[in-house]
């Protein structure tokens, strides 16, 4: 599906007041409004710099792929350095390229498939205490499940106190993240006691997980060994930054994806039934293998459709380091370009019935031609999410194993309301009623 570009160049300037007022009210509605009102290129003039919000796959591809060398990560990721240090998410240029080359092999699909038995075991263990006809807080449960899986995969074990402490610190840091967004020097932020406490605790847990010299088989295969083996390449502070990045980036996003999947399934019983039929037919009574995951095509399309409608990464930014041109718009060094998965992936120019949850759209044969960047839940270009296979395999496995034994029903008649913060979270935790199948 191709779509004509609605304005190659920003025609109207959005004022700082209009931008701030709308974004404070509801960022998802604000960005949707800008795209619908001003077309595919909105110019927002803020006191210190220009922002351009682009909403066409061609422009997004320009920024992320064709002209990526003209851009670095946007201000909000730059400020996340105060938490993450110089890891893969925050480094730039040659430094990033070298890190990415060294780490990429550990994230190839066949490598990630080796973690499958560990994922299966964690999912079964996590759900064994669930009781028939009880209410389950899926937001909490999925957060803990994915954190456990991350700890086991990255460090080879998951000491109970580390699960508690990482969850607690993460909650504080996410709550206080707007603080990290204030344009203050890093050192000032460290005077906010709660922020500093949470960050210090995360650093301490990460370091003790790194130092764990246990020789169990799991540890030998865990991601941390790959970092340590590349010892000549990675300094101690880089190992620390990478592990912290994988721990944070690697569990919260996937937990939210799963939470949104359960909300969708609870409110679309016919989709849930179809998914369960597929799981029964493919798995019978076995635990999923890598081959099974490939065969779970409907389950995979439920995950893809959820990523379209509830993208955990709902917007991303880039800052120009060189003057360049996107569409016909001149972007000056220092300007910021915003792109939103939420707005693009709800665009009816590219999706029939864009507001409807229809996993079948991913199985159509022949596939409708979707421009590459009309769908980018994992970003794109040289900074595409390194954990994409990890997240997809984990999400499909968790849905399949849980849906095989449990039917979920909604508690509220309305679906959860998305609340965008660092990631796209539900405004209130998603709770469902579970029934044994
Ligand atoms: C549903 C789950 C996930 C979503 C939606 C997601 C989304 C994203 C997006 C959109 C980016 C690009 C950000 C940008 O370019 O500004 C990204 C980068 C990244 N993600 Fe993920 N992610 C997920 C899971 C994971 C997992 C499981 C891991 C680790 C195992 C991970 C680690 C990273 C890292 C390290 C980067 C930076 C890559 C680079 O810049 O080279 N993510 N993610």
pLDDT digits 0-9 by tens, 261-307: 999 999 999 999 999 999 999 998 899 999 999 999 999 999 999 99
Using a 10 angstrom Cβ sphere, with 0-12 exposed, 13-18 middle and 19 or more buried, the burial of residue 41 is buried
pLDDT for 408 beyond 90: yes
Q: What is the pLDDT of residue 267?
A: 98
Q: What is the pLDDT of residue 190?
A: 60
Q: Tell whether the torsion through CA atoms of 172, 175, 177 and 181 is positive or negative.
A: negative
pLDDT, average across residues 142-164:
87
Identify the weakest region by mean pLDDT among 17-31, 154-168, 227-241.
Answer: 227-241
What's the gap in Å between 411 CA and the centre of ligand 1?
A: 31
pLDDT digits 0-9 by tens, 349-401: 999 999 999 999 999 887 888 999 999 999 999 999 999 999 999 999 999 99
What's the gap in Å between 305 CA and the centre of ligand 1?
A: 18
Q: What is the pLDDT of residue 202?
A: 84
CA 180, 185, 190 angle in degrees (round to 5)? Answer: 60
Cβ of residue 313 lying under 6 Å from some atom of ligand 1: yes
Q: Going by DSSP bridges, is the β-strand pair 316-320/336-339 parallel, antiparallel, or unpaired? A: antiparallel
For atom 16 of ligand 1, the residue with the nearest CA is 316
State the closest ligand 1 atom to the C-alpha of 311, by its place in the atom list counted from 1. Answer: 5
The span from the first CA to the last CA of the chain, in angstroms, equals 40
Cβ of residue 80 lying under 6 Å from some atom of ligand 1: no
Residue indicated by tokens 């169990």: 216
Identify the weakest region by mean pLDDT among 227-231, 233-237, 338-342.
Answer: 227-231
Please give the structure tokens belonging to residue 272.
């849930």
CA 410, 137, 356 angle in degrees (round to 5)? Answer: 40
Cβ of residue 166 lying under 6 Å from some atom of ligand 1: no
pLDDT mean across residues, the chain: 89
Give the CATH H-level superfamily of domain 13-436.
Cytochrome P450 (1.10.630.10)
Q: Which of 60, 385, 389, 399 gets mutated to test ligand 1 (max ligand atoms within 8 A of its CB)?
A: 385
What's the gap in Å between 87 CA and the centre of ligand 1?
A: 12
Q: Which residues of 149-174 are buried (b: 16+ CB within 10 A; e: fewer)?
A: bbbbbbbbebeeebbebbbebbebbb
For atom 6 of ligand 1, the residue with the nearest CA is 378
Q: What's the predicted TM-score (pTM) here?
A: 0.94
What's the gap in Å between 114 CA and the centre of ligand 1?
A: 20
pLDDT for 340 beyond 90: yes
Cβ of residue 83 lying under 6 Å from some atom of ligand 1: no
pLDDT digits 0-9 by tens, 135-149: 999 999 999 999 999
Instruction: Name the percent of the chain lying above pLDDT 70.
Output: 93
Distance CA 285, CA 53 (A): 49
pLDDT, average across residues 228-250:
80
Residue spans of the domains in the chain: they are 13-436
Q: Of 85-89, 92-96, 219-223, where does the model show the most confidence?
A: 92-96
Q: What is the pLDDT of residue 413?
A: 93
pLDDT digits 0-9 by tens, 185-210: 555 556 577 777 888 888 888 888 88
What's the gap in Å between 129 CA and the centre of ligand 1?
A: 31
Q: What is the pLDDT of residue 323?
A: 97
pLDDT for 232 beyond 70: no
Q: What is the pLDDT of residue 179?
A: 61
pLDDT for 415 beyond 90: yes
Is the distance from CB of 338 to CB of 54 less than 8 angstroms? yes
Band of pLDDT at residue 123, cut at 50, 70 and 90: very high
Q: Of 3-12, 164-173, 247-256, 331-340, where does the model show the most confidence?
A: 331-340
């Amino acid at each position: 599906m191709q779509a004509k570009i609605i304005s190659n160049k920003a025609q109207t300037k959005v004022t700082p007041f209009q931008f701030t007022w709308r974004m404070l009210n509801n960022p998802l509605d604000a960005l949707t409004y800008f795209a619908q009102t001003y077309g595919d290129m909105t110019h927002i003039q803020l006191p210190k710099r220009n922002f351009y919000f682009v909403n066409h796959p061609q422009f997004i591809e320009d920024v992320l792929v064709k002209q990526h060398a003209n851009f670095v990560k946007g201000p909000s990721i730059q400020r996340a350095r105060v938490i993450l240090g110089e890891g893969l998410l925050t480094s730039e240029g040659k430094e990033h390229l070298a890190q990415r080359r060294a780490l990429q092999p550990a994230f190839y699909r066949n490598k990630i498939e080796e973690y499958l038995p560990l994922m299966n075991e964690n999912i079964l263990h996590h759900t064994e205490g669930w009781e028939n006809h009880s209410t389950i807080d899926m937001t909490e449960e999925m957060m803990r499940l994915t954190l456990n899986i991350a700890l086991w995969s990255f460090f080879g074990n998951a000491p109970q106190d580390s699960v508690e402490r990482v969850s607690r610190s993460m909650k504080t840091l996410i709550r206080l993240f707007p603080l990290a967004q204030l344009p203050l020097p890093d050192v000032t932020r460290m005077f906010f006691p709660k922020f500093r406490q949470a960050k210090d605790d995360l650093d301490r847990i990460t370091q003790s997980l790194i130092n764990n010299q246990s020789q169990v088989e799991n540890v030998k295969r865990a991601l941390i060994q790959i970092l340590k083996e590349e010892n000549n390449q990675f300094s101690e502070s880089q190992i620390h930054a990478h592990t912290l990045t994988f721990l944070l980036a690697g569990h919260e996003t996937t937990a939210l994806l799963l939470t949104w999947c359960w909300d969708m399934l609870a409110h679309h019983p016919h989709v849930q039934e179809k998914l369960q039929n597929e799981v029964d037919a493919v798995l019978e009574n076995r635990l999923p293998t890598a081959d099974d995951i490939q065969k779970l095509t409907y389950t995979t399309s439920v995950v893809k459709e959820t990523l379209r409608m509830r993208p955990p990464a709902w917007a991303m930014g880039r800052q120009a380091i060189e003057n360049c041109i996107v569409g016909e718009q001149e972007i000056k060094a220092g300007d910021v370009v915003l792109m939103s998965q939420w707005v693009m992936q709800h665009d009816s120019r590219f999706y029939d019935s864009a507001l409807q949850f229809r996993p079948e759209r991913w199985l159509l044969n022949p596939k409708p031609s979707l421009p590459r960047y009309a769908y980018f839940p994992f970003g794109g270009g040289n900074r595409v999410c390194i954990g994409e296979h990890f997240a997809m395999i984990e999400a499909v496995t968790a849905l399949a194993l849980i849906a095989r034994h449990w039917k979920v029903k909604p508690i509220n008649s309305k679906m959860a309301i998305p609340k965008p913060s660092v990631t796209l979270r539900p405004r209130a935790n998603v709770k469902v009623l579970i029934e044994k199948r």
